[in-house]
Homo-oligomer: A and B are copies of this chain.
Amino acid sequence: MDLTLGIDLGGTNIAAGVVDASGKLLIKESIKTGAERGAAAILADVGDQACRLVADMGESGKDIRAIGIGSPGTPDNVHGFVIYSSNLPFRPSTPIREILQSRLGIPVFLENDASCAALAEARAGAAKGALYAITLTIGTGIGCGIIANGRIYHGFNNAAGEFGHSVLIPDGEPCPCGRRGCFEMYASATALIRETRRAIARHPNSMLRRLSDEAGKSGARTAFDAMRAGDPVGTAVVHDYIRMLSEGVTNLINTLMPEVLLIGGGVSNEGESLLIPIREFVDQNAYYGEGVPHTRIERATLGNDAGIIGAALMASDNLTS
């Protein structure tokens, strides 16, 4: 059996697991990143974690043929290091591939984490079988992984997929990237929470305010809950949020025409409350000529495992290409 090991490097946790050729996750393990300790300490832990997983597989451990690492930022798979990541202390001076390869004795490959998640969904998740697929992960920010012709699209510098930093409103909300009005500033969970708080401030007697007070905070879910309970203030917040998210999704579809566009991350837990209006908007607004097949819009299904599975499948792709 052909197996690979996938490692999903995150700012908070590092999740790793063993995956078969079909994308099935056999075992997994998560450890704390402790990013403040620096690259060497993190990589020592990652090496330990990989060794434990190999050992846990018992006899099948010898079938693990490669390690795939999904990292935030811009990994460089040619040179085997991370060029830049805002969440992790890896830089070109840390030879990730060399360190792990010498420790585990099998090839190590690197890729962006959002790209790995998109690959997992296109091979073993909600976009299974689609040669052109995009996964938008909506959380604190917006991740975007693009699959083209069945493979990860990473651009010439491995830095593609920053669709979250497409300006949708020139001179709009300031974004940490330096621009103003980025898609991420309107369509991330962070943006939804910001608008929920602003609406509460404007409408101190609203049900939205009451729900927020009862929960002790405004979350990404608060406005959706208020909407489902019939509150007009919550409904307006959700309506405006979905409108901006849908404008961005339509922009992406017009540009790249994936067969399937998936939405993952915390906000996707709203399910059809989120997806139905997005589909309606896209069907009305996307630039499909008469008779041209439309993109399917679904929820991502692999959740947090997508990063591990995609990193492992990416390693397998690298072995055979």
Contact = CB atoms under 8 A, between A and B. Distances in A.
Contact of A244 (B131, B160, B170): B170
B287 A257 contact: no
Interface in A145-171: 148-149, 151, 153-163, 165-170
Interface of A: 73-74, 83-86, 91-92, 130-132, 144, 148-149, 151, 153-163, 165-170, 177-179, 243-244, 247, 250-252, 254-259, 284-285, 287-295
Contacts of A254: 162-163, 165-166
B159 A292 contact: yes
A165 to B, nearest CB: 5
A162 B162 CA distance: 18
Nearest to A132: B156
A285 B166 CA distance: 10
Interface centre among A85, A149, A167, A295 (most CB of B within 10 A): A167
B165 A291 contact: no
Contact of A247 (B149, B156, B170): B170
B156 A259 contact: yes
A163 B257 CA distance: 10
Nearest to A175: B287
Contacts of A169: 169-170
29 contacts: A74-B292, A84-B290, A85-B289, A86-B289, A132-B155, A144-B255, A148-B149, A148-B153, A153-B256, A156-B257, A156-B259, A157-B257, A157-B293, A158-B292, A159-B257, A159-B289, A159-B292, A160-B257, A162-B257, A163-B254, A165-B251, A166-B166, A166-B255, A167-B247, A167-B250, A170-B243, A170-B244, A178-B285, A252-B255
Contact of A161 (B165, B255, B259): B255
Copies of the chain in the assembly: 2
Contacts of A179: 250, 285
Contact of A291 (B84, B131, B161, B252): B84
Given A83-B290, A84-B290, A159-B288, 17 more contacts: A83-B289, A84-B289, A84-B292, A85-B289, A148-B153, A149-B149, A156-B259, A156-B293, A157-B259, A158-B292, A159-B292, A166-B254, A167-B247, A168-B168, A168-B170, A169-B170, A178-B285
A165 B259 contact: no
Nearest to A166: B251
A156 B254 CA distance: 12
Contacts of A83: 289-292
A254 B74 CA distance: 12
A289 B254 CA distance: 27
Contact of A287 (B85, B130, B159, B259): B159
Contact of A167 (B153, B168, B289): B168
